[in-house]
Chain A
Amino acid sequence: AQKVTQAQTEISVVEKEDVTLDCVYETRDTTYYLFWYKQPPSGELVFLIRRNSFDEQNEISGRYSWNFQKSTSSFNFTITASQVVDSAVYFCALRANTDKLIFGTGTRLQVFP
């Protein structure tokens, strides 16, 4: 079975704080892809990053960074120096051998000024 768990339902931080969103996944496939999406209040899911199962290199994009660890089946997302515009629901997703995305339940991030 494939599953994505985002244990943090809601996180509140003050602007400029760093925040990490956790994602733990389950799959028996050896080839799979992990994604993070952002859903602002407007509702549209915005693609942030894709990582495949053979590439465990961490990635940094501006204030965003991702830590992929196969040993713990985790793909965590860190926002450095958070801003109010980062307020959104963030989804972690898994895709194995089909084009079907399995989403976690999402983490609502609120950044207060």
Chain B
Amino acid sequence: KAGVTQTPRYLIKTRGQQVTLSCSPISGHRSVSWYQQTPGQGLQFLFEYFSETQRNKGNFPGRFSGRQFSNSRSEMNVSTLELGDSALYLCASSSGDGSTYEQYFGPGTRLTVT
């Protein structure tokens, strides 16, 4: 089975721009979660989608949003980028229905905001 894929792997943006990151979960997984990893704050939960619905949300401003499509692929969007948004963004997939509980992570998208 193919693992979780994320595109792009690296991204450089300018303050004020917006960015969209993509995640394709493991085949059959219906839950996709997003995490932000920074040296200062560590790994922080952004949100989780299950069957195209946001099921959980972390403590991030409204500039961070996401969605999930009918094929379980997910995108997250960050608008009006700030320097502090520079981070590794990790996507994780799981079955979401309670049949498995572990989350499998993709390689991440490293976003640099200048």
Contacts and interface: CB of A to CB of B under 8 A. Distances in A.
Interface of A: 33, 35, 37, 42-47, 50, 52, 91, 95, 98-106
B90 A45 contact: yes
Interface centre among B35, B48, B101, B106 (most CB of A within 10 A): B101
A99 B101 CA distance: 8
A37 B108 CA distance: 15
B101 A50 contact: yes
B42 A105 contact: yes
A50 B102 contact: yes
A57 to B, nearest CB: 17
A21 to B, nearest CB: 16
Contacts of B105: 37, 44-47
A101 B109 CA distance: 19
Nearest to B43: A103
Given A45-B90, A106-B42, A100 B104 contact: no
